[in-house]
Structure 1
Amino acid sequence: MRKIISFVCFLVLTFGSFSQAKADNRSLAGIWQQIVSNAGKCDKCRITIKQQGSVLRVTSNNGWFAIVEADKRGKSNALSGVGRWEPGYGGSYGRASFDIHFTLTDGQLYMNMTVPMKNGPTQVIKAIFDKLPSGNRDDSSMLKA
């Protein structure tokens, strides 16, 4: 647990000095429902995006989190960052760190997560999310999938 807290503190301090994210954080913040993934169908998989200082924190209900910021190339609809799978989640991904990239296109959030594996080739998880309307946001949706 101490390593995870240290990792999060490192991320916040590292990204905290950058300018405010250029992406429209109002359209990104909230709860997003996974609609498709190359890792398999998951009707209960969701991510929550929250502003945290000058960065955005992405938390999944299936065991990973990330800190992202606006793409340095100036694309207002792209976010990039780093994250980590929690111990005991994600099967072979448990405790693995990863790079992550999000692009908001036509109201859908596209995700590419690149996970370098210790005992095998790098894995790329791709998913597409739809934002849940504010009336459909129920705290029980963030229970572990």
Structure 2
Amino acid sequence: MVSWTLASWRLLAVLLALAFALSPVAARANGATFPGQWQQVASGTDACETCWVEIRRNGPVLKVTGKGGWFAVVHLGRVGGDHSAEGIGRWSEVGNSHYRGQPFDIRIALVDKHLYMDMSVKMDDGSTRAVRAIFDKRRSEKSARRVMVKS
């Protein structure tokens, strides 16, 4: 059973408040849209051929889920118009990631049909670690078609 800390309850309250308070906006830029699955093509650390993020629209906000065990809720258009979004999230309590359970701020942007992600993870010792990556939706869609053809 998952035990909820005060910080977890606060994060949940903030995420729910964001979901109800924010107004809907279009999520299009340069012919690309935020919702869907995005395959990682570059990273500030190691390249990861199997890493991806999935973005789903939930009313006025976007829910971003990463393969690495994290999720975020972002609001569109705060900085840079409707081709960028920013919000907050948390790494999963489960698993062996050194970011396990840590909260973070996140910014995503669509540039030339690529998704750019910049995450600032708040560590227990007070430091902040940056996680940056670039994703390509078209590559992800091609991979899915290839798997279906092989099956």
5+ long unaligned stretches in structure 2:
none
Please give the TM-score of this superposition, normalised by the length of structure 2.
Answer: 0.79
Q: Which has the higher strand share?
A: 2
Cross-structure match for 1:88? 94
Q: Which of 30, 49, 55 is matched with 1:49 structurally? A: 55
* Greater alpha carbon shift after TM alignment, 14-23 vs 78-87: 14-23
CA shift for structure 1 position 87:
1.1
Matches within 5 A, 1:123-142: 123-131=129-137, 132-133=140-141, 136=144
**Matched letter for residue 129 of structure 2:** Q
Aligned length: 139
> Alpha carbon RMSD of aligned pairs, Å?
2.7
Q: Give the 3 Å change call, closer, same or farther, for CA 86–137 of structure 1 in structure 2.
A: farther
CA distance in 2, matches of 1:58, 1:138: 25
CA distance in 2, matches of 1:15, 1:138: 36
Percent identical? 33
Structure with greater Cα Rg: 2
Q: Which of 16, 23, 30 is matched with 1:12 structurally? A: 16
Please give the TM-score of this superposition, normalised by the length of structure 1.
Answer: 0.82
- Secondary structure at 2:101's aligned position in 1? coil
